[in-house]
Amino acid sequence: MSDTDTTTTTFDAAALEALPARAVATGGIREQAFARFVATPLPSKETEEWRYTDVSDLVFDQVPYSEGGAAETLDDVPDRVLEAADVVGDRAGLQIQRNGDVIITHLAKDLVDEGVILGDLDLAASEHRDLVEEHLHSVVPIDRSKFTALHAAFRTGGTFLYVPPDVQVELPIQTLTYLDADGGAVFPHTLLIADRGSEVTFIDRYASPDLRRALSDAVVEIVAGDGAHVKYIGLQDWGTGVQHVGVTRARVGRDAQVRSLGVAFGGTLARGEVEIELAGDGSRTELLGVYFGDGDQHIDHRSIQLHRGSRSSSDLLYKGALRDASSAIYTGTVIIDHDAHLCDAYQTNRNILLSEQAKAMSVPNLEILTDDPTRCGHAASVGPVSEDELFYLQSRGIPRDEAERLIVFGFFAEVLDRIDLPEVREGIERSIEAELARVG
Amino acid sequence: MALVKVCSVSDVPAGAARRVSVGTREIAVVNLGDEGFRAVDAVCSHAHYYLDEGQVDVDEATIECWKHGSTFDLETGRPRTLPATVPVQVFPVKIEDDDVMIEVEA
């Protein structure tokens, strides 16, 4: 099959036509995106961006849209979906998407009264047309890659969150995207607009049972207005069999800040691109990442810290553990633009290998186009569990498995200590614990 | 399982709830009028707020958490509306004369 041949894919004109009627509000985008998807070749390992992740055997033959249903009350939500949601913690808002449909949404009444909007992106495209048209795919353009074009063409559902100027949302808001359509595709999309001076924490969680095969093609767009504070937490917990490609991109205004945490435990292939555009003077970002690979899982993280505003600062810390025959690649780039003065940027990626077959690679890059950065640097490491540390702990009577567990938790503590939501931290610790239990 | 007297029928008006303690557990006893009494965990499964301080819907047999608005089915304990996603425990209730008895683990 040639790269542009769509005759053997399920993502064709007929499938586009067959999307639910409510999903046509962004029709202009869909047609443009579909044309782009057809015209764009699959990413090749010949390109720097996809050099370490081979998707040449990825076939677009999933079911483009799988119904998730609708729920008046939670009585209509299947038990397995609620079980996947688990204990979500104290939340101001919660939305559940199953497969291609947002099935239920809740937002605290006082926030509704303050003008906060949380809901299905398809509905928002009708009910808040101006806001959606202004921002949808303004941060992640449809032509960024073949995957973003596919996403823009076939997305249904998704989360729209708008926080009006100077409104502080104290409790986190969360969306669960649950996929149980084996052989299907899902296109999670979060469009988060934090207007000037506002404050919000948003948690995106992707979950599924183990599936034979499925595709997750996700986009997260964050617009942080001047002085806004946004925390974004992405918890990728797909089951095996899911191939996940996602782009998270934020545009950060003057004196605004975006703090993000990306957690990747699931999926057979998990590729996450995170790009923060520090557009305004005095803007700031912190990017944290935690990942744990097992089996033959391949985890690919790419980050870009793009400094366009002066006195902007960024700090990235990604840490991962790999076992079995899993592999991870981290590629990070710091760009300080010509007109961005007195910027501060740092990136750190560290990997710990728990088996001889596991592989990790770290590729940091700096592109400093100005002559006066305050600080700009990077650090990277890949290595096995230190035999010296193991020996030290074992010499104090700690069994080898427990010693390794302590070392891995110590390794991740640098990131975990910076997570200020206890239930999120505890959830990650449980996932690490489960991964380590499987090692034994 | 042990049957424990937690209050009198007259302590809980129809359409209302009352919080009782059994050992370390806090339980909401709900009077559904003609439909009898129900008992569920007093603490909402979503966040630490008391269900007995919320609204009882006799017709729907639900109780609503006053803080975030989740309603719980008093028969099954299952949440009917977000943001709660996890059921609260339901306890069997028996009425003996004027006593409300709840069956709890010994």
Q: Which ipTM score applies to this complex?
A: 0.72
Rounded to the nearest angstrom, the minimum Cα separation between B46 and chain A is 6
- Give chain B positions within 8 Å (CB) of A86: 85-86
Instruction: Please give the pLDDT value at position A36.
Output: 96
Instruction: Please give the pLDDT value at position B69.
Output: 87
Interchain CB distance below 8 Å, A75 and B80: yes
As a whole number, mean pLDDT of residues A146-163 equals 97
* Helix ranges, A272-349 (H): none
In the structure, what pLDDT confidence band is assigned to residue A45 with cuts at 50, 70 and 90?
A: confident
Question: Any residues with CB less than 8 A from the CB of A383 and at least 6 apart, and which?
Answer: A351, A352, A353
Short-list B36, B40, B35, CA closest to B80: B40
Instruction: Please give the pLDDT value at position A374.
Output: 84
In the structure, what pLDDT confidence band is assigned to residue A48 with cuts at 50, 70 and 90?
A: confident
- Give chain A positions within 8 Å (CB) of B80: 73-75
A101-105 long-range contacts (CB < 8 A, ≥24 apart) are A101/A20, A101/A67, A101/A68, A101/A69, A101/A70, A101/A156, A101/A157, A102/A68, A102/A157, A102/A158, A102/A159, A103/A68, A103/A69, A103/A70, A103/A71, A103/A76, A103/A77, A104/A70, A104/A71, A104/A74, A104/A76, A104/A77, A104/B82, A105/B82
Name which of A224-228, A265-269, A273-277 the model is least confident about.
Answer: A265-269
Q: Does A87 touch chain B (CB under 8 A)?
A: yes
Handedness of CA A429, A432, A438, A440 (dihedral sign): negative
Scan for tokens 């709900």, then name that residue. Answer: B30
Residues of chain B short of pLDDT 70, as ranges, are none
Instruction: Please give the pLDDT value at position A2.
Output: 41
- Give chain B positions within 8 Å (CB) of A109: 69
Q: Choose between A116 and A423: higher pLDDT.
A: A116
As a whole number, mean pLDDT of residues A288-292 equals 97
Rounded to the nearest angstrom, the minimum Cα separation between B86 and chain A is 6
Rounded to the nearest angstrom, the minimum Cα separation between A106 and chain B is 6
| Closest chain B residue to A105, measured at CA | B82
Q: Which of residues 25-54 of B touch A (CB under 8 A)?
A: 45-47
Interchain CB distance below 8 Å, B82 and A106: yes
Instruction: Please give the pLDDT value at position A197.
Output: 98
What type of residue sits at position A291? Y
Q: Does A85 touch chain B (CB under 8 A)?
A: yes
Q: What is the pTM of this model?
A: 0.90
* Widest pairwise Cα distance in chain B: 38
Cβ atoms of A319 and A288 within 8 Å: the answer is no
Q: Does A14 touch chain B (CB under 8 A)?
A: no
Interchain CB distance below 8 Å, A74 and B68: no
Kindly report, residue by residue over A203-227, the tens digit of the pLDDT: 999 999 999 999 999 999 999 999 9
Interchain CB distance below 8 Å, A86 and B68: no
Instruction: Please give the pLDDT value at position A6.
Output: 45
Instruction: Please give the pLDDT value at position A25.
Output: 57
As a whole number, mean pLDDT of residues A409-418 equals 96
In the structure, what pLDDT confidence band is assigned to residue A24 with cuts at 50, 70 and 90?
A: low
Which residues on neighbouring strands pair with residue A231, listed in sequence order? A201, A259
Rounded to the nearest angstrom, the minimum Cα separation between A416 and chain B is 23
Rounded to the nearest angstrom, the minimum Cα separation between A96 and chain B is 9
- Give chain A positions within 8 Å (CB) of B46: 87-88, 90-91
Q: Which of residues 60-89 of B touch A (CB under 8 A)?
A: 68-69, 73, 78-83, 85-86
* Helix ranges, A54-211 (H): 79-85, 109-113, 121-127, 129-135, 146-154
- Residue B16: half-sphere exposure toward Cβ, Cα within 13 Å: 8
